[in-house]
């Protein structure tokens, strides 16, 4: 099947490693991790895979500006700023802030990468972020620019192909490693990563179950969102898949205090995991999701599963502003 064409910006394929000590500590199960945190340095994490497709579409439309939005520590916004700089076009980031955020982590990197930044309040972000981005697009048009608006997380029909392609990469790696994953697990924040994995998994008639662990909203919200995204992606391929909402496995219960808010047990888990495996998780996504996966394995939710693949979707820079809470 042909999927839309894309830029080549990420270091691919990312490796798959077995988490030897974590697996041993959990008993009769093998946990593997796919290092999508190593897709690059400036562009690191899962967003670059989605941007490879979405920004190709922007360039094909003749755009010279990327406008996007996210939280103050958005990994997606930082990846967008890095991609724009790399391609010699411009980025405009609309970030949610109370106005007192220190220039740290991703926000700091955005400034280094030369992004134009507009901070808006959480209320304005919730109610009007699209309007704000459209207003910027109009202003830029008045100055002779053409801007492409990327939704939160680059999770739209085109961006989703980044993880469609990642699923194909995983299938090739299974053959190389001689292992078959019964489950693939990812954090879910805007749904595109999950949707891409799910679409390719179904289309390729692979048997693995795809699990999402939501870090905001709730399971029902994301089941609907994933359905919408898969249908948007099908507009590009004309290759429908048949699935029910129940086929979308979303594990709720690990949002904790709320999006980008950390509980002590999550932070302690990140520290323990770093010492155990030499791999650093992030506080907003992968720390919560891996914590959730381990809790669910302990509860018996994955009894009978042999090999589980966790996608390390990145986010390291978002850990730096948590320094005070960690130590
Ligand atoms: C955005 C993000 C996710 C969530 O991916 P979605 O496609 O938005 O659901 C997971 N991990 C990290 C580190 C992210 O930045």
Tell me the average pLDDT of the chain. 97
- What are 112-119's contacts with CB under 8 Å, separation 24+? 113/42, 113/78, 113/81, 113/82, 113/84, 113/85, 114/81, 114/85, 115/77, 115/80, 115/81, 115/84, 115/91, 116/90, 116/91, 116/92, 117/92, 117/93, 118/92, 118/93, 118/94, 119/72, 119/95
pLDDT score for 79:
98
DSSP per position, 196-235: HHHHHHHHTT--PEEEEEESSS-HHHHHHHHHHHHHHHHH
pLDDT score of 102 more than 80: yes
- Which residue of 313, 316, 319 sits with most ligand 1 atoms within 8 Å of its CB, as the best mutation to test the pocket? 313
Looking at the CA of residue 193, tell me the nearest atom of ligand 1: 7
Q: Pairing state of beta strands 147-149 and 116-120?
A: unpaired
- Inter-residue contact 31 to 23 (CB < 8 Å): yes
Q: How far is the CA of 153 from the centre of ligand 1 (A)?
A: 7
User: What is the predicted pLDDT for the residue at 1?
Assistant: 75
The residue whose C-alpha atom lies closest to atom 3 belonging to ligand 1 is 189
**Whether residue 148 has its Cβ less than 6 Å from ligand 1:** no
Q: What is the pLDDT of residues 194-224, one digit of tens each?
A: 999 999 999 999 999 999 999 999 999 999 9
107 vs 1, higher pLDDT: 107
Ligand 1 centroid – CA 312 distance (Å): 10
State the distance from the centre of ligand 1 to the C-alpha of 129, rounded, in angstroms: 19
Q: What band does 279 get if pLDDT is binned at 50, 70 and 90?
A: very high
pTM beyond cutoff 0.85? yes
Taken in order of first residue, the domains within the chain and their CATH numbers are 16-45+156-326 (3.40.50.1100), 47-154 (3.40.50.1100)
Look at residue 239 and tell me whether its pLDDT is greater than 80.
yes
Mean pLDDT of 55-66: 98
Q: Name the pLDDT band for 62 (thresholds 50, 70, 90).
A: very high
Chain segment 147-168, per-residue pLDDT in tens: 999 999 999 999 999 999 999 9
- Of 6, 23, 74, 190, which residue is the catalytic one? 74
What average pLDDT does range 69-94 have in this prediction? 98
Q: Mean pLDDT throughout 46-70?
A: 98
């Amino acid at each position: 099947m042909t999927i839309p064409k894309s830029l080549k910006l990420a270091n691919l394929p990312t490796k798959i490693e077995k988490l030897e000590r974590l697996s041993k500590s959990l008993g009769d199960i093998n946990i593997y991790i796919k290092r999508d945190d190593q897709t690059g340095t400036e562009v690191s994490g899962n967003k670059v895979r989605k941007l490879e497709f979405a920004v190709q579409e922007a360039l094909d439309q003749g755009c010279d500006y990327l406008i996007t939005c996210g939280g103050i520590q958005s990994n997606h916004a930082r990846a967008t700023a890095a991609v724009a700089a790399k391609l010699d076009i411009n980025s405009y980031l609309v970030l949610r802030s109370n106005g007192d955020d220190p220039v740290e982590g991703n926000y700091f990197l955005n400034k280094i990468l030369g992004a134009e930044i507009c901070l808006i309040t959480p209320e304005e972000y919730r109610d009007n972020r699209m309007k704000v981005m459209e207003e910027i697009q109009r202003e830029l048009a008045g100055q002779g620019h053409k801007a492409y608006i990327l939704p939160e997380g680059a999770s739209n029909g085109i961006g989703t192909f980044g993880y469609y392609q990642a699923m194909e990469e995983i299938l090739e790696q299974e053959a190389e490693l001689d292992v078959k994953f019964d489950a693939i697990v990812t954090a879910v924040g805007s749904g595109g990563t999950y949707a891409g994995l799910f679409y390719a998994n179904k289309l390729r008639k692979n048997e693995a179950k795809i699990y999402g662990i939501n870090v905001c909203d709730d399971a029902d919200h994301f089941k609907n969102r994933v359905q919408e995204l898969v249908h948007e992606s099908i507009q590009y391929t004309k290759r429908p898949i048949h699935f029910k909402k129940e086929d979308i496995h979303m594990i709720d219960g690990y949002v904790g205090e709320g999006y980008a808010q950390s509980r002590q047990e999550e932070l302690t888990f990140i520290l323990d995991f770093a010492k155990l495996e030499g791999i650093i998780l992030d506080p907003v996504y992968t720390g919560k999701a891996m914590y959730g996966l381990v809790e669910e394995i302990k509860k018996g939710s994955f009894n009978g599963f042999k090999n589980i693949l966790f996608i390390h979707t990145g986010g390291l820079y978002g850990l730096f502003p948590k320094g005070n809470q960690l130590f």
